Chain A
Amino acid sequence: MLYRESGQFKTTYAADQQLFPIRQDRYAVLLLLAVAFVGIPLFASSYWLTALLIPFLVFALATLGLNILTGYAGQLSLGTAAFMAVGAVAAYNFQLRIPGMPILVSFILGGLTSALIGIAFGLPSLRIKGFYLAVATLAAQFFIPWLLVKVSWFSNNSASGVITAQPIEILGFAFDTPARKYLLVLTIVAVMALAAKNMVRSSIGRAWMAVRDMDVAAEVIGIRIMHTKLIAFAVSSFYCGVAGALYAFAYLGSVEPDGFNLDLSFRILFMVIIGGVGSILGSFLGAAFITLLPIFLDVLLTEGAAALNLNLPSGMTSMAQLVVFGALIIFFLIVEPHGLARLWQILKEKLRLWPFPH
């Protein structure tokens, strides 16, 4: 009823091939963007912006990057955090060493640096697959943070290898308040998500999926395997690199290379798996699930215990939160192994028939 497409006739090829072919989807996305761009900055508190929404968007971007590589091109990677670190440190150095460098250009150059490193570490993917490739990308995960700590030039000779991001300023306008930082991050993430959505339905996206589904068959029909895989690594690392730069500049402010550890790579991989492998929407859902749910659970348990006047030993709520969160992950994976994006798809199909199912 609410979600019926009957009556929406496509009379041109352009209409048939548009990004969101169903009118309701189109309106929903526009509404969402309007809320995100106008409503949230007006009403959200600084806690919501800095502690919840900015990290959510940054992780969504990193998840998107990994999803392109793992979900669309089928190459398992455990080096996401390392590529984020490259983006963050490269953007910091471009900003530091080239006077008058526009910050957005620094972000892009940070992403490009990360893309180059990504290609280098993607080379083994030409020979090895699956778990073996994951182990090869693990090398990036150990090598890059080590190198960033070892060579103190990267952190401008800081005693401890920590970099402190410069203030963000574009054309003389300072992005210094939480709302402004949020808007900047949102703009970058929205543009890059749109680009990704388009990319995966272009010829390169189809080539990725062909390689993912069966690389021999893809090669037989004339897809250049090396080219396709390396582009996947480059694009994925570019996304991760920009996410890393935003993580440093818009979220934490100062980062140490050790912060970009294997733990973070796994978190992002879990975001991909829980959100939905090979889905743009899934990247956002997965990032929301993993970054926001523990915080909500924590607030809920702490406030709940306080409201019920339970005098729980300190640390108990955190343990309970971990248990509940772990149980929820297992539950969702059992109910829907294809991730939250698939749940949304099922819901959409149901809504199409509602309230008159067959």
Chain B
Amino acid sequence: MKSWKQTVVTAVLAIAGVAAAMPAAAQQAGTQFIGITSYRVGPYGANGAAFFGGFIDYLSLVNERDGGVNGVKLSWEECETEYNNAKGVECYERLKTKSATGPTAIHPMSTGITYALIDKAPADKIPLITLGYGRTDATDGRVFPWVFPVQSNYWDAATGIIKFIGDKEGGDLKGKKIVLLYHDSAYGKEPHSVLEAEAKKLGFELRMIPVPHPGNEQQSQWLQIRQYQPNWVILWGWGVMNATALQTAQKVGFPREKMVGNWWAGSEIDTEVAGAAANGYYAASLNLAGKGYPVVKDIEDIVYKKGKGNGNPKQIGTVLWNRGVGAAMLTVEAVRKAQEKYGKKVLTGEQIRWGMENLDINAGRLKALGFNTMLPPIKLSCTDHGGSGLVRFQQWTGSEWKAVSDWISGDKQMVRTMIEESAAKYAAEKGIKPGCLGG
């Protein structure tokens, strides 16, 4: 008994010793190292696996097809966060030390982790790219020089959805009733202020109904909705809550053609689980689904044919996988832009930040990159770290997401005013002097 225990204690100590003594693995010299805080296990693992599968597939494509960015090869490493804030911070700290030039740019892919990193990023000089999540007022780059909530933020989504509903209602929302069914968390509360402002401005009635985490029981919420008889329901959910909402809507007989989700409530993972209950449901999207883009074909032909694919081949072309590809493209283009100024070599976080801030991907460039219409053009500046704020609506046909609108912009001006107010408040609270960083 005694010796057995001793063996175990020794073994544990040895493991701990090895782990502790392990030096930060030196990355292949001369490559642009990209740190990836991903999640593939835990409650949102399926969503993370699709997104990061696409992300890594695009990086592989750049290496395999182009030989890197202007000859500088990419290397990367993943660290599992399980969508947990504390683990996310640990991963960030770990990836930061893996290369002399830092992890290029971090996509936290979680609003909670983004919040935890916002204070750390400026000190470490690491850009954070939060595509369609995170802190909305970080769009004001003068207060948040290191954070890039690119493409569209939650307030753009909310006003975009209202615009879409308005168009469907023939341009007039006066007296109409709209319900926001939201995930009762920081994420679900994000659109409240902007929707209230919209309700006042456009004269519709707004009722907000929370669904407690995780949201797999919504009978009482849908009874309320049935009593209230709204014209539209906006679904602001995540994970299992989305499929449950669609199924419960079917049960109480609320038409799915009158439901609009945001982009975290609009992936195949949500609708395929809901089955026929999802038919006709709309969702705002940051990117289109499908395989009909040259970049997707290249990934299939070059990366997957060589057996170097990262994601599950079945996920190719899904909403979240395509979003991962788009997110990786932004990082790569930021590197390319920064190389124009600083030379074709391995770059630091500060240089990448400049590249990101001066990013300008127009329609021609998107076509050249093989994205065509999957994404809207994006142009950033010091005052605007967000970009177009455009969203596009897709409808679930029962087997795939089909685009049913053009790229739509919500009330950009109102959103911008609210962003500046909120950012100024943050700056005052933290004692930040707003300003542009420059090169």
Residues of A bordering B, CB below 8 Å: 45-47, 50-52, 55, 96, 149, 156, 159-162, 164-167, 176, 251-259, 293, 295-300, 303, 306, 314-315, 317-319, 322, 328, 331, 335
Contacts and interface: CB of A to CB of B under 8 A. Distances in A.
Contact of A164 (B12, B24, B93, B118): B118
A315 B45 contact: yes
Interface string B135-147: 0100000000000
12 contacts: A47-B96, A51-B89, A51-B90, A51-B94, A159-B189, A164-B426, A253-B119, A255-B115, A314-B40, A314-B49, A314-B78, A315-B40
A315 B49 contact: yes
Contacts of B120: 253
Contacts of B41: 315, 318-319, 322
A96 B89 CA distance: 25
Interface string B185-229: 111011011000000000000000000010000000000000000
Given A162-B115, A306-B25, 14 more contacts: A46-B93, A47-B97, A149-B186, A159-B189, A159-B190, A159-B193, A162-B186, A252-B85, A252-B86, A254-B115, A256-B85, A256-B112, A314-B310, A318-B80
Interface of B: 5, 8, 12, 15-16, 18-20, 22, 24-25, 38, 40-41, 45, 49, 52, 56, 78-80, 82, 85-86, 89-90, 93-94, 96-97, 111-112, 115-116, 118-120, 123, 136, 184-187, 189-190, 192-193, 213, 310, 422, 426, 429-431
Q: Which of B20, B90, B96, B97 has the most CB of A within 10 A?
A: B90
B189 A149 contact: yes
B15 A300 contact: yes
Contacts, number: 123
Contact of B189 (A156, A160, A254, A335): A160
Given A253-B120, A314-B78, A45 B97 contact: yes
> Which 6 A-B residue pairs are closest in the complex by CB-CB distance?
A315-B40, A160-B186, A296-B19, A51-B93, A318-B80, A253-B119
A313 to B, nearest CB: 9
A118 B206 CA distance: 38
B144 to A, nearest CB: 12
Contacts of B422: 159
A100 B46 CA distance: 48
Instruction: Name B's interface SS.
Output: helix
A299 B19 contact: yes
Given A159-B192, A160-B186, A299 B38 contact: no
A215 B78 CA distance: 53
Contacts of B310: 314
Nearest to B80: A318
B115 A256 contact: yes
Given A161-B186, A298-B80, A314 B136 contact: no
B148 to A, nearest CB: 18
A253 B187 CA distance: 18
Contacts of B185: 149, 256, 258
